[in-house]
């Protein structure tokens, strides 16, 4: 079968197609003919050699950990499913095994795709769904509150904009470039600003909370916009690193600073439940994933390069 491997740590060029023998499912396992595979920003970081202390992965390895398609062997044969291909190494979950045309996973990882969604949409929600639910709980925004979503055109950002708007929250979206600005506006944000322009914070004004998927200097600038007693939730590193707000200022102004490590840790059962909930809500029309670009499996390096160049909108998928 065809796969893409990271042959060594480095830039997108280290992602190389390869042919390997098919793996047959054993007892309690199923084989999936993969129709779509998720590409996460985390995949690009691990490929570069970042995070070895947290994710003990070493080349050569197959990156990615979210797939969707039809079961071709084992339990649920013939059904459309999504599944997580993560492996546990030394007690840590490692996002590997997803850039493939055929995946073998434990039966317990199979999640059915609702009739109202296609497989690509379901794959796009596999990882961002649990993130969405956790962030909504963390920001605790009530109707009428004003919330800034930074990196609003990202995979999680587009879901946050839609769901917060549906809940009656006044959403201000921040993104970079005309295409992303237009997308965020179409999803219901009452205001949209381009944080690539000078003075963008002046146009936003004060907000009750920030959901920061940008990080770095953009995230720190967004922190200054939170009203006293508000919340700053940091979940992304699109700018290269997490934002690092002044904690003394946060204490003085009673701003709750919440990072990814402060969110509840999700075991596999809880994560599965959140994925199922997200798929049901999407099928009911609460929100929709935005799949901005797809690449052939063999072009995984192009997908990583596009993400690094910040050329992507919403989710990026590989199509074997």
pLDDT in tens, 242-281: 888 999 999 999 999 999 888 888 888 999 999 999 999 9
Domain-embedded: residue 282: no
* E strand spans, the chain: 2-6, 15-19, 29-39, 66-73, 80-84, 87-89, 92-94, 102-106, 111-112, 146-150, 170-175, 191-194, 207-212, 226-234, 256-258, 291-296, 315-319
pLDDT in tens, 50-97: 888 888 899 999 999 999 999 999 999 999 999 999 988 777 788 999
Task: State the CATH number of the domain containing residue 199.
Answer: 3.40.50.720
Half-sphere exposure of 212 (CA within 13 A, CB side): 33
Residue 71: domain span: 2-112+290-319
Instruction: Specify whether 145 is located in the same domain as 101.
Output: no
Domain-embedded: residue 122: no
Task: State the CATH number of the domain containing residue 107.
Answer: 3.90.180.10
Retrieve residue 247's tokens.
């904690």
Instruction: Specify whether 151 is located in the same domain as 244.
Output: yes
Cα Rg of the chain (Å, integer) = 19
Instruction: Specify whether 225 is located in the same domain as 142.
Output: yes
pLDDT at 36: 99
Instruction: Specify whether 257 is located in the same domain as 132.
Output: yes
pLDDT at 52: 81
What's the pTM? 0.94
pLDDT at 125: 98
Of 186, 183, 187, 164, nearest in space to 175 by CA: 183
Q: Hunting for tokens 């599944």 — which residue is that?
A: 83
Domain-embedded: residue 88: yes
Instruction: Specify whether 255 is located in the same domain as 312.
Output: no
Domain-embedded: residue 279: no
Q: How many structural domains are present in the chain?
A: 2
SS3 146: strand
pLDDT at 116: 98
Domain-embedded: residue 229: yes
Distance CA(242)–CA(259), nearest Å, equals: 9
Angle at 239 between CA 146 and CA 121, to 5 degrees: 70
Instruction: Specify whether 176 is located in the same domain as 144.
Output: yes
Distance CA(68)–CA(309), nearest Å, equals: 26
pLDDT beneath 70: ranges in the chain: none
Domain-embedded: residue 275: no
Of 7, 40, 3, nearest in space to 19 by CA: 3
Domain-embedded: residue 174: yes
Instruction: Specify whether 258 is located in the same domain as 175.
Output: yes
pLDDT at 265: 84
Of 273, 254, 276, 251, nearest in space to 264 by CA: 273
Instruction: Specify whether 78 is located in the same domain as 138.
Output: no
Domain-embedded: residue 276: no
Neighbours of 43 (CB within 10 A): 26
């Amino acid at each position: 079968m065809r796969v893409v491997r990271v042959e060594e740590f480095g830039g997108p060029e280290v992602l190389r197609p390869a042919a390997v023998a098919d793996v047959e499912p054993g007892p309690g396992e199923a084989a999936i003919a993969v129709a779509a595979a998720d590409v996460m920003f985390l995949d690009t970081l691990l490929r570069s050699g970042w995070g070895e202390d947290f994710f003990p992965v070493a080349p050569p390895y197959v990156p990615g950990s979210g797939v969707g398609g039809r079961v071709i062997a084992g339990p649920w044969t013939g059904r459309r499913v999504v599944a997580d291909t993560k492996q546990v190494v030394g007690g840590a979950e490692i996002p590997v095994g997803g850039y493939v045309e055929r995946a073998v996973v434990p039966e317990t990882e199979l999640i059915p795709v609702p009739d109202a969604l296609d497989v690509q949409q379901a794959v796009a929600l596999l990882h961002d769904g649990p993130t969405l639910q956790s962030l909504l709980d963390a920001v605790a925004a009530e109707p009428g509150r004003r919330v800034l979503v930074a990196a609003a055109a990202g995979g999680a950002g587009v879901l946050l904009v839609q769901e917060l708007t549906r809940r009656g929250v006044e959403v201000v979206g921040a993104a970079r470039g005309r295409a992303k600005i237009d997308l965020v506006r179409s999803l219901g944000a009452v205001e949209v600003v381009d944080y690539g322009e000078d003075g963008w914070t002046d146009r936003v004004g004060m907000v009750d909370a920030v959901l920061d998927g940008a990080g770095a200097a953009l995230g720190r600038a967004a922190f200054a916009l939170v009203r006293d007693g508000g919340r700053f939730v940091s979940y992304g590193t699109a700018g290269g690193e997490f934002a690092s707000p002044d904690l003394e200022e946060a204490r003085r102004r009673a701003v709750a600073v919440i990072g990814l490590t402060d969110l509840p840790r999700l075991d596999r059962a809880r994560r599965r439940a959140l994925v199922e909930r997200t798929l049901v809500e999407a099928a009911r029309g609460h929100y929709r994933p935005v799949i901005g670009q797809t690449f052939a499996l063999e072009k995984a390096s192009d997908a990583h390069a596009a993400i690094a160049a910040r050329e992507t909108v919403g989710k990026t998928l590989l199509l074997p």
